[in-house]
A and B are shown apart, each in its own frame.
Chain A
């Protein structure tokens, strides 16, 4: 860097919140004496509109080109100060945020002198890092408006329509000859006691798709190859025997699910009187059709129904060691029992169940079924009903849990409500898109609670039964929701990433491939036998850099150099009293802040270094801290299973184990390396850890 480093340090009083404990003028004076600092000032309220204006003037006036702000916490206030220095004409990445309220004045109230010492150290560390800061830039990757939707069931069709209605191009690829997925094979949909023939629903949607000018449909089609990333996918589709290459920007996965065939169970497959719910739907559908032909008179169709004793057995292949609740079976069994009763009032229908998993709106159909005379028998979890055959007649032996009796129910037809699994194409799609699925073939979303429609890689969304079994209503909602997720970058025209990204020095790189393998976001791609960071996809967690055997990867804004400089500054004096703590931005720092807000008091020995993820902390950092004489090192990350970067904390945990071994080899006591997994709500945990460390380390 050619320009002179001119650091401005702005130390905040936060009224008396900081200044009441920490001797701020002393810290300001101290900052003035630090290398590269050309200006330091005390602000009563640094975040006030007045002071921000003053700050901007001072930056210009004093020719400041790096800013250190020492105040509250970056978790709430960093964006504000970033904006401010940007308005002063500086690159927003030339800011270092030092937390002297949450990490000092609020938590060391009883010892103003130590609080002041710690504040000085924290400012010194901030200045050391600031001197090495480089300009960052928000990286933009252009994104066009072509979206590929894989799967033409109800969720996929709904997604396609929403995409197309915005004027974007939706490309819908369906493996079967007709659109409609699972719903086209069933008789009717019911909700709140209202029943609609499924064909009506499918046909209405398919008609909208057919007539939409912005939708291209491929049927009898499969995806052969996918290459690239958001904004830049090259896809080959094979449809009706011919191949076509497509350029698309985003992808929505809507591949649906299928019923598990209960082969060998209850003589299914051998005895035609034992069928699945989906086959039962087929029968009902046929009857519907015949009923329609008979001028809509139900009496005409009644003659077709010979099955007077129907036994429905729920939870077949569900709720066992390998698979959970199928989510929709109870409702389907009740719906179909009602449909049968509507056709043949004299039919005796039994539903054998374990738990009736019917929610709010489904409760009314349960009541209707009971009223219609459908009988419900609850059997114990560990004693499934058994099938019997005598003189060619079937019967079902069931233990009625509520009566405490064994019952034998005659059966002309046995309907098995079986579980579901992902469609046959799941394995291929998984490989092509580099996404994962669970053992049942349901795709794994980015986050089960807050990222249900996303994959870790930007640009690919998920919806419908490809994620997990669900009702039509939910699948429709997910189709629309996934369309939204895919549309945001298409509408913006780009994907923007923060400036905190990985950068690979190809001169040092030996192409071992570890970084590509470890990246949870698919942000490292192989180009000409070398790894390349697709910066817009990189989230800056630093996992790759910490593990790179050649140290060829730099994380911009959290480089090795910068972190080591912070550490050296912290340990320059009285290292033997100090603990170096690496805290992740998302949870552990949240816990630190929570301890501050709660005014929990703990010893002042720690000097915290913020990293975006605990996975950024390399073994070298830890070792270096001990070389510099630190009393102890703490690595604090998110509590399992939470991690802002999916699994960074798991990687950190593995690395800490290795670090302990290396420390032992090098003659350091491995017990001086601590780690905690701390939630953002758990201030007490952080404070207790501080107390414990100080005690155990004998400080």
Chain B
């Protein structure tokens, strides 16, 4: 039986694996390479097929993890090296500097207010989301502490007006900074938690088992695909999700990137990029329900919005999914079995015309919309390759972690004691991730 386990990835799968193992009595190290746990689910607006508010149901678990005596959370942390010996593992972790003393920071946000430079947010940048150079990952972040964009420190943001831009000394050389406004604001609060000279910190731990829960990411469409990156009002389903979210960059207003006007005609193109040379060769299975959710919520925001989904094969495979699809249709959403092949923009209105083959009639038709959403599918986490090498476990031909025997020994890898769950295994929804997390935790504690 394992006494301690390392869980790599703090999304909903990692969180659930951690809570299960920790409640069981195991010491758990839960690490994430971003500044907060929560993963993809923390950024979603709603979850299908019930339209539960995503952060409402996830944040209590995040706080539970935070307060669990058996769980140590390490954010901004990567695994560098792992050695297996007699069924136990020695892992070298690197805690990348947040340039913040996490013990002292209370997440009060005074530093954020003081920072003079706003830059496009990683997640929401394309739809107008901005953040400061010192920022909170998101409002419910755990741990609830600020983080500094490393670019700030080396004067790379000089032209954008960074307050330390004029300084010629490398921040790591100082132990005090008279220039940085965040440092000053924090000192005024009596905290002194901003540490611009902080260095990455190595850390060695010994564990009996490892669970890989590194999740999945949304595929970025190729520039030009249905006008993406060329026409302003073509967005991905992830970006649209953020537009719907009251906690997102538009406070939940579904507005067009081009002019900030509410979109009244919206279309979704399913399987965007699938089967193309650079597209995904597989079905990501959740996008049909994601689109269905997005149409329902859009109609809840404004019932007069016309919503059309261009789809190919409808995946309504899970419990309650079919009823959810029916609900969308009852609410007036149009589902068209169609193959869209071209999109062009009216330069004046910035509206988009979608040309498609209607598979029911065989006719070529077209439709003009004000906002176009590309359902782009899910791809392996970009760090999978590196991590697979570190852990000496295999990836499948698509880049997801390979299970030794998916049917007879699911979630087990080619290294005994290392297990995988959630999006790390492939496209998956939240409930399936939660199931796998419990199962992987069971296997890890039994190891």
Q: Is the CB of B406 within 8 A of A191?
A: yes
Of B140, B317, B360, chain A has the most CB atoms within 10 Å of the CB of B317
A590 within 8 A of B: yes
Q: Is the CB of A166 within 8 A of B53?
A: no
Q: Is the CB of A681 within 8 A of B321?
A: no
Taken together as a complex, chains A and B put the C-alpha atoms of A482 and B438 apart, in Å, by 7
**Chain B nearest Cβ from A508, distance in angstroms:** 34
Name B438's closest neighbour in chain A (CB-CB): A481
Q: Is the CB of B323 within 8 A of A324?
A: yes
- Mark the stretch among A542-550, A562-570, A636-644, A664-672 that contacts chain B: A636-644
Q: Is the CB of B432 within 8 A of A474?
A: yes
- Mark the stretch among B76-84, B232-240, B280-288 that contacts chain A: B280-288
Name A192's closest neighbour in chain B (CB-CB): B406
**Chain A nearest Cβ from B91, distance in angstroms:** 23
Per-residue interface assignment for chain A, residues 155 to 177, with 1 indicating a CB less than 8 Å from any chain B CB and 0 otherwise: 00000001001100000000000
Taken together as a complex, chains A and B put the C-alpha atoms of A679 and B315 apart, in Å, by 28
Taken together as a complex, chains A and B put the C-alpha atoms of A226 and B108 apart, in Å, by 53
Contact of B442 among A361, A363, A480 (CB under 8 A): A480
Q: List A residues 10-30 near B (Cβ within 8 Å).
A: 14-17
Q: Is the CB of B315 within 8 A of A359?
A: yes
Q: Is the CB of A478 within 8 A of B106?
A: no
Q: Is the CB of A682 within 8 A of B252?
A: yes
Contact of A484 among B24, B59, B320, B323 (CB under 8 A): B24
Taken together as a complex, chains A and B put the C-alpha atoms of A579 and B45 apart, in Å, by 30
Chain A residues near B359 (CB, 8 Å)? 401-402
- Mark the stretch among A44-52, A289-297, A601-609 that contacts chain B: A44-52
Chain A residues near B12 (CB, 8 Å)? 450
Taken together as a complex, chains A and B put the C-alpha atoms of A598 and B59 apart, in Å, by 17
Q: Is the CB of B25 within 8 A of A355?
A: no
Chain B residues near A16 (CB, 8 Å)? 110, 188-189
Q: How large is the interface on A (under 10, 10 to 19, 20 to 34, 35 or more residues)?
A: 35 or more
Per-residue interface assignment for chain B, residues 45 to 77, with 1 indicating a CB less than 8 Å from any chain A CB and 0 otherwise: 101011111111111110100010000000000
B410 within 8 A of A: yes
Chain A residues near B149 (CB, 8 Å)? none
Chain A residues near B20 (CB, 8 Å)? 484-485, 488
Name B398's closest neighbour in chain A (CB-CB): A360
**Chain A nearest Cβ from B227, distance in angstroms:** 27
B100 within 8 A of A: no
Q: Is the CB of B49 within 8 A of A485?
A: no
Taken together as a complex, chains A and B put the C-alpha atoms of A14 and B110 apart, in Å, by 10
Chain B residues near A485 (CB, 8 Å)? 20, 438
Chain B residues near A483 (CB, 8 Å)? 442
Chain B residues near A642 (CB, 8 Å)? 50, 52-53, 56-57
Q: Is the CB of B411 within 8 A of A477?
A: yes
**With contact pairs A360-B398, A452-B431 given, residues A484 and B442 touching in the complex (Cβ less than 8 Å):** yes
Chain A residues near B337 (CB, 8 Å)? 401
**With contact pairs A45-B191, A325-B317 given, residues A478 and B63 touching in the complex (Cβ less than 8 Å):** no
Per-residue interface assignment for chain A, residues 578 to 592, with 1 indicating a CB less than 8 Å from any chain B CB and 0 otherwise: 000000001100100
Name B408's closest neighbour in chain A (CB-CB): A201
**Chain A nearest Cβ from B409, distance in angstroms:** 9
Taken together as a complex, chains A and B put the C-alpha atoms of A45 and B101 apart, in Å, by 15
Taken together as a complex, chains A and B put the C-alpha atoms of A679 and B244 apart, in Å, by 13
**Chain A nearest Cβ from B296, distance in angstroms:** 12
Contact of A477 among B252, B285, B436 (CB under 8 A): B436
A476 within 8 A of B: yes
**With contact pairs A488-B24, A492-B23 given, residues A641 and B52 touching in the complex (Cβ less than 8 Å):** yes
Chain B residues near A541 (CB, 8 Å)? none
A112 within 8 A of B: no
Which residues of A are in contact with B by a Cβ distance under 8 Å? 14-17, 44-45, 47-49, 75-76, 79-80, 162, 165-166, 189, 191-192, 196, 201, 204, 319, 323-325, 327, 355-361, 363, 380, 401-402, 404, 442, 447-453, 467-468, 472-474, 476-478, 480-485, 487-488, 491-492, 586-587, 590, 594, 597-598, 638-639, 641-642, 644, 679-685
Some 10 contacts from A to B, beta carbons below 8 A apart, are: A17-B108, A355-B315, A359-B317, A360-B284, A363-B282, A401-B337, A449-B52, A477-B410, A484-B20, A641-B50
**Shortest Cβ-Cβ A-B pairs, 7 listed:** A324-B322, A15-B189, A481-B438, A679-B53, A484-B442, A480-B439, A481-B439
